[in-house]
């Protein structure tokens, strides 16, 4: 197994330390693998342009619709 070094802000480290029961290395390993699997799937899609267009459109819509005013409705 290969090792990597990851730099994080001191404030993030302190927050991580608060949850010391979590195996952070394992968590990061799984998240990296999950992202790589998603990227592998993207490479297999023949019509990548339409997929990226759809993704970017969803991101734009999410940015437009997710705002503080809308968040108040979550607790209703």
CB 42 within 8 A of CB 51: yes
Is residue 4 in a domain? no
> How do residues 8-53 score in pLDDT, each as one tens digit?
999 999 999 999 999 999 999 999 999 898 888 877 776 666 666 6
In this predicted structure, the answer to whether residue 56 has a pLDDT above a threshold of 60 is yes
The DSSP element (H or E) to which 12 belongs, if any, is helix 10-18
Is residue 14 in a domain? yes
Count of domains in the chain?
1
Is residue 17 in a domain? yes
Q: Distance (Å, rounded) from C-alpha 68 to C-alpha 71?
A: 5
Q: What is the pLDDT of residue 48?
A: 61
Q: Nearest 5°: phi and psi at 19?
A: -105, 55
Is residue 33 in a domain? yes
Is residue 62 in a domain? yes
Domain range for residue 36? 10-66
Q: Distance (Å, rounded) from C-alpha 55 to C-alpha 48?
A: 10
Q: What is the pLDDT of residue 41?
A: 80
């Amino acid at each position: 197994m290969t090792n990597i070094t990851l730099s994080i802000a001191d404030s993030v480290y302190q927050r991580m330390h608060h949850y010391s029961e979590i195996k952070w290395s394992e968590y990061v390993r799984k998240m990296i693998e999950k992202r790589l699997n998603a990227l592998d799937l993207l490479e297999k899609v023949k019509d990548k342009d339409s997929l990226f267009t759809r993704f970017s459109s969803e991101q734009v819509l999410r940015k437009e619709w997710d705002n503080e005013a809308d968040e108040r409705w979550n607790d209703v």
